[in-house]
A and B are shown apart, each in its own frame.
Chain A
Amino acid sequence: MSERMDRIRNFCIIAHIDHGKSTLADRLLEKTGVFQKREMVEQILDSMELERERGITIKSKAVRMKYTAKDGNEYILNLIDTPGHVDFAYEVSRALAACEGALLVVDATQGVEAQTLANVYMAFDHDLETVPVINKIDLPSAQPDVVKKEIEDVIGIDTEDAPCISAKNGINIEDVLEAVVKRVPAPKGDADKPLQALIFDANYDNYRGAICYVRIMQGTIKAGTRMHLMATGGEFDVVEVGYFEPGYVPCEELRPGDVGYIAASIKDVRDTRVGDTITDAAAPASEPLPGYRPAVPMVFCGIYPADGARYDDLHDALDKLHMNDASLSFEPETSAALGYGFRCGFLGLLHMEIIQERLEREFDLDLVTTAPSVVYHIKKANGEEVSVDNPSNLPPIGEIIGMEEPFVHAEIYTPKDSVGTLMELCKDKRGTFIDMQYEGSRVKLNYELPLNEIIFDFFDQVKSRSRGYASFDYELNGYQESDLVKLDILLNGDVCDAFSLIVHRDKAYARGRGICEKLKDAIPRQLFEIPIQAAIGGKVIARETVKAVRKDVLAKCYGGDITRKKKLLEKQKEGKKRMRQFGTVELPSEAFMAVLKISDE
């Protein structure tokens, strides 16, 4: 093995939420001089405003640190920061595949948590050397020895030399760096073999186009190399290669074991799929790296500008976000209630929320979104099969002879005492129990669940029912025939397409009632009485009415009240501008939001 590669360590940090992953990353960067203390902001790798605020990582990132170890040698330490949510499980797996080791951060006051376990298993799956780090030892309730024992018992890794640190107060950070050097294996890979570089993320830069974040497995790449993307088939001339420090710093070439970037004037980020393998077009590798999976949107919803005049702005914004996020898909659609907008596809619910929030924040857009949907397979009487991701596009009932919905295989890790309530939840969500396994004091529940049940509030329910302890992961597991119906909502007798849903027949009544109730509160009283009805194929199953009276008219209005009264009415008038006219009914954006927050209860 070359001396160069011997001095490289590629690692990631895994932890339960709040156990100090980002803080430790900050300390490592500070300690290795990547940033001076005065330049540091908290959670430096979470550069997106949204990431900092929510305390989550959305995109994978990497940073290269130089560290002179106690053995006197200078090491290159590449830290790859990964997202931490099931929606991005695939992205995480590719980032882990770029590492040889993982720091497992465990809170000395909390011990091993469900998410810790889930993460550890993922690290094991990728054969990562897992280095335990006991954090928050300076807290009065810290029990490092108890926690160490727990790690040994539950996870089965040796904790004898585990660094005991306080990331917050910078205690024993050097021990962590030493452990990385000593315990994480050096990368392997032959520089003379055909190039194989794993893309673990991509980012769009206005000047250089789509930039691939890569880990070189074997071979070398430099400016001028004609590169070939093995899954998408694209070919580009490499303009620049370099490292993350953490800004882009160009270098001569990237060699085996290196973590860095490749810029090749790639216009379309879709050409740079996470998990794809870059090789040299002149001397290609015979095989791509294992594990590539094209990003498949699983959840769809309509996104409309609250102000119809901003349709073009929304289009531009989606284009820009898409540059950085190939897993986002969108195409134009129109709705009778909402006008012109886009049907957007996402990896999961969090991904959807993140995109919506970024559109609103980074592009200053007010959005109206429709209820999330999955892709249904419809068998028609004429033998045709169609896929439907928008309930409004469902063929007439008479033409349908069968419908299939996607199912997932769900794994829930939970402490024993929440097993009952979580099994209840799964049953309620039409889940089929597969099995359960006891792992120490934890239980792994395996269920088969319909995807359309978990896109609503399942994740939140899992968290709240287990007081935050349970974690949940899922993967798509094919389609199954299902007794599905289209639930329509009628306002003043007309079907309002934006509210239509495809649901299981058993859930239709409860859902219909819930939506009618929510809408009754969300639709302001208007000149006329507005009947709200839920219907399945013309049969009304629930009804509410928005009454036509208001009482604010009776406020006094003498000389001193005129200005105030006028302002109130102006506000009411402005509010109307943001309302959607649906026939004679005026719908505020809140009405569409309210429907999204329906549970079956």
Chain B
Amino acid sequence: MSDASVYVHIPFCKSRCAYCDFTSFTSIGMISDYTSALIREIKKASETQSRLRVPTVFIGGGTPSLLLPEQLIQIFEALRSGFEIDENAEITIEANPGTLSESFLKAAKDCGVNRISMGVQAWQPRLLEILGRIHRQKEVTESADLLSKLGFDNWNADLMMGLPTQTTDELFESIDVMKTLGAKHLSCYSLILEDGTRLFGDVRSGKYRMQTDEQDREMYRSMTEYMGKLGYHQYEISNFAYPDMECRHNLIYWRRKPYIGFGCAAASQVGNRRYKNTASLADYISGVSAHCEEETISVREAEKETVMLSLRLREGITDEKLLKKLAPYTKPLTDGGFMEHSGKALRLTKTGMDVMDEIIVRLWEGLDAIS
């Protein structure tokens, strides 16, 4: 039996955040039809291929906590009847503070969900306002209390840094609060200004000013140090966890292991193929559209992806054959202090992380030169 992780996308949100350019819809009335379409897709997939063993499940969004408890249950029924979900599988569901209800969490518990990822982003109301987040501080603490009450010990908080007007102390405060509330895992991403978002307009009009790259990097360095002090060890460029609390599902992506995505705009990677579902909600629900952006990944492409993804990880590039090929090109980078050996593996140094894209491109050029 072969392995594949499962991702289920719930592309609905109560309102759109100011910085977000992901596929998400505010037409909450369509969730019921969407759930039916999801279940249809899951069933069809499980019928057309041999039974898969599933080490991790991730219900992401959007805001999956907008699902009704019975919708969540139906989805898991379909998953469990179609796939062999490991007994000790990591099963995560994303939630936004303020949308988490006790009944939902209970249903999640019944479904076997054992990890919650909360979109907190920042603790300070001023910053939440800039981001266009609709939750309040009280809702964050209430959600955390609820998690603890229902025994969800393993939970993550998403935080953001490099926000307009944000200070390093404020970022530390957000981290402190999450620690106090019991988060075992924190992810902390820099704000990226995406064209067409509301925040993009706010910045262009001069309402807000983005942090300079230098300020952002400075904040990043302080942040990683602080995380370490608090016991959250960095295992990926933007992800931190207590020991053994890393997100196993996301590691599947970064280690280029197979995954199947269900839902509108969800991506799958099985064998040497990667494809996406339609990003049109109407097409997805009516079931008319086939996979799009389908690509077959050559051995060379796979190597490039391994470089691109492994360098995000603290463990670095571990594939020995690949390391051998890259050796002539990594040498100047280790000499320059951008990469370092860790046992047999090769990883980015702190300096290297600031220029990761450039390093990836250089190693790719090396791979191109070999062929």
Contact = CB atoms under 8 A, between A and B. Distances in A.
Interface stretch (B81-89, B165-173, B348-356): B348-356
Nearest to A528: B336
Contacts of A553: 237, 353-357
A547 B295 CA distance: 37
A472 B356 CA distance: 53
B20 to A, nearest CB: 12
A562 B276 CA distance: 11
A97 to B, nearest CB: 57
Contacts of B312: 557
Interface stretch (A239-247, A563-571, A593-601): A563-571
A556 interface: yes
B192 interface: yes
B140 interface: no
A240 B174 CA distance: 88
A572 B357 contact: yes
A33 B338 CA distance: 74
Interface in B257-298: 259, 261, 265-269, 274, 276, 293, 295
Contacts of B253: 557-559, 562
Contacts of A525: 213, 355
Contacts of B336: 527-528
A48 interface: no
A551 B214 CA distance: 9
Interface string A537-562: 00000000001111111111111101
B360 interface: yes
Nearest to B267: A560
Contacts of A505: none
A321 to B, nearest CB: 35
Contact of B214 (A526, A549, A563): A549
A182 interface: no
A193 interface: no
Given A550-B213, A553-B237, A563-B295, A572 B354 contact: no
B14 interface: no
Contacts of A554: 189-190, 192, 220, 237-238
A573 interface: yes
Contacts of B213: 525, 547, 549-551
Interface centre among A553, A556, A570, A572 (most CB of B within 10 A): A553
Given A527-B336, A549-B213, A551-B216, A562 B267 contact: yes
Contacts of A576: 361, 365
Interface centre among A552, A554, A565, A573 (most CB of B within 10 A): A554
A563 B266 CA distance: 12
Given A547-B213, A566-B304, A573-B365, A556 B189 contact: yes
Nearest to A553: B356
Contact of B357 (A528, A552, A563): A552
B102 interface: no
B355 A550 contact: yes
B192 A562 contact: no
A196 B268 CA distance: 81
A566 B7 contact: no
A569 B357 contact: yes
Contact of A573 (B192, B238, B338, B361): B361
A563 B253 CA distance: 12
A563 B267 contact: yes
Interface string B336-349: 10100000000000
Contact of A563 (B274, B309, B338, B364): B274
B217 interface: yes
Nearest to A552: B357
B354 A549 contact: yes
B250 interface: yes
A565 B308 contact: yes
B3 interface: no
B153 interface: no
Nearest to B337: A527
Contacts of B301: 566
B305 interface: yes
Given A557-B253, A569-B308, A526 B238 contact: no
Given A553-B356, A569-B308, A547 B361 contact: no
A548 B357 CA distance: 12
Contact of B269 (A549, A557, A559, A566): A559
A559 B305 contact: no
Interface string A514-536: 00000000000111100000000
Given A549-B213, A550-B357, A560 B265 contact: yes
Nearest to A574: B361
B239 to A, nearest CB: 10
Contacts of A527: 336, 338, 355, 358-359
A562 B305 CA distance: 8
Interface centre among B214, B301, B338, B357 (most CB of A within 10 A): B357
A563 B261 contact: no
Contact of A555 (B192, B361, B365): B192
A562 B274 contact: yes
A566 B308 contact: yes
Contacts of B358: 526-527, 550, 572
Contacts of B293: 563
A569 B360 contact: yes
A557 B309 contact: yes
A576 B357 CA distance: 12
A550 to B, nearest CB: 6
B45 to A, nearest CB: 15
Contacts of B189: 554-556
Contacts of A551: 162, 190, 213, 216-217, 354
Contacts of A563: 267, 274, 276, 293, 295
A557 B237 CA distance: 10
A560 B301 CA distance: 16
A572 B190 CA distance: 21
B246 to A, nearest CB: 14
A398 B254 CA distance: 61
Contacts of B295: 563
Contacts of B254: 557
Interface string B128-154: 000000000000000000000000000
Contacts of A559: 7, 252-253, 259, 261, 267-269
B22 to A, nearest CB: 9
Nearest to A558: B253
B355 A548 contact: yes
Interface centre among A526, A552, A560 (most CB of B within 10 A): A560
A563 B274 CA distance: 9
Contacts of B267: 559-560, 562-563
Contacts of B250: 558
Contacts of B354: 548-551, 553
23 contacts: A525-B213, A528-B336, A547-B214, A549-B214, A549-B217, A549-B354, A549-B355, A550-B357, A550-B358, A551-B190, A552-B357, A553-B355, A553-B357, A554-B238, A557-B254, A559-B252, A559-B268, A559-B269, A560-B265, A562-B267, A563-B267, A566-B305, A569-B364
Given A526-B358, A551-B217, A565-B308, 20 more contacts: A525-B355, A547-B213, A550-B358, A551-B354, A553-B357, A554-B189, A555-B192, A556-B238, A557-B253, A559-B259, A560-B266, A562-B267, A562-B274, A562-B308, A562-B309, A563-B276, A566-B304, A572-B361, A573-B365, A576-B361
Interface of A: 525-528, 547-560, 562-563, 565-566, 569-570, 572-573, 576
